[in-house]
Amino acid sequence: MSEQQHRNKSGFETRAIHAGYEPDAATGAVIPPIYATSTYKQDGVGGLRGGYEYSRSANPTRTALEGNIAALEEGERGFAFASGLAAEDTLVRALCKPGDHVVIPDDAYGGTFRLFDKVEKVWGLEHSPAPVSDLEKVAAAVRPGETRLVWVETPTNPLLNIGDIEALAAIAHDAGALLVVDNTFASPYLQQPLTLGADVVVHSTTKYCGGHSDVVGGAIVVKDLDLAEKVTFHQNAMGAVAGPFDSWLTLRGLKTLALRMDRHCDNAERVVDFLTSHPKVGEVIYPGLETHPGHEVAQRQMKRYGGMVSFRVTGGEQHALQVCERTEVFTLGESLGGVESLIEHPGRMTHASVAGTDLEVPADLVRLSVGIETAEDLVADLERALD
């Protein structure tokens, strides 16, 4: 067994630190250099040195990131992109053609919905929404012979619904479709969809993978080499690749992912305990609660329940907006998964693009990305904002 094969069978934290890169042969550098180069000297016409010719096609820093995230998701190949939506668009065009059909979550991330509804639809790709937690409705939305992808988020954004990955994979495969799982909210540390039957994993690596709110990126991981060949061609042909510095930042973030996710989960649980007993909170949505309808599935397929918490206030939309404006430790902002805690109003912010559609979110909903600050400070901040 090679050293790399041995590492791929190692624990998650070991893979996060070592997979995808061997110390530099010339200098012994333990961290991949940032290869800030657009082109490479060839060993004769068509003689690529190490497989590199032009950095859109491949760059050593990006290669290290792609190998690392593939190992963390227990897939065969990883691909890094300029953003999560760039990854999604490349995947769709690699695996679908005009006239095909896709099933998407009925509470999908607003940007994903916009991609399918405003971009891919014009291209000729049809889509149908279905609740990821309702297997019968997902199966009913599938069109045998037409549906190419069953696309799920679990947990979903922002309502934190849970889809049974193993069961959804069976539905997709029975119809001749592929199961794509957006694993952004869980991260590779808390959930590995490919081991549960999914065919493709997508990430906005901007979020937990990068983890420090200093880089935008996306990733695809596949477990089938035929799929990998299609994605490789489209990644190069479409060109929305991660640059070397962005790749380096994301790879740095992945090295501490396990430590950060445990703290995110610890803090989220403290916040949930506070919110569930507050008289001005009507509902707390968190997969770790036994009252959550997807709790048993989440318990089975996730290591822990994540750092995302949504809740509905009793005073309606105006109260939700006031809570978002009053916090001081929680920063009012879009995105999620960074070390700092964020608060937002999905209906007016991240999910404004689904207003007036079947995917519209409740107006009294507040979404939290719970960071790694001192838990007591986070609870006190929310208490002031709610009162």
Contact 341, 369 (CB under 8 A): yes
Which own/partner contact pairs does 136-141 have at CB distance under 8 Å and 24+ positions apart?
138/103, 138/163, 138/168, 138/171, 139/171, 141/103
How far apart CA 279 and CA 275 sit, in angstroms, is: 9
How does 266-281 read in b/e, with b if 16+ C-beta sit within 10 Å?
ebbbbbbebbeebeeb
Helix/strand/coil (H/E/C) assignment for every residue in 328-383: CCCEECCCCCCCCCEEECCCCCCCHHHCCCCCCCCCCEEEEECCCCCHHHHHHHHH
The set of catalytic residues is 56, 109, 182, 207
Phi, psi at 95, each rounded to 5°:
-110, -10
Three-class secondary structure of residue 180 per DSSP: strand
Alpha-carbon distance of 64 to 132, in angstroms, equals 33
The closest of 2, 61, 72, 62 to 29, measured between CA atoms, is 61
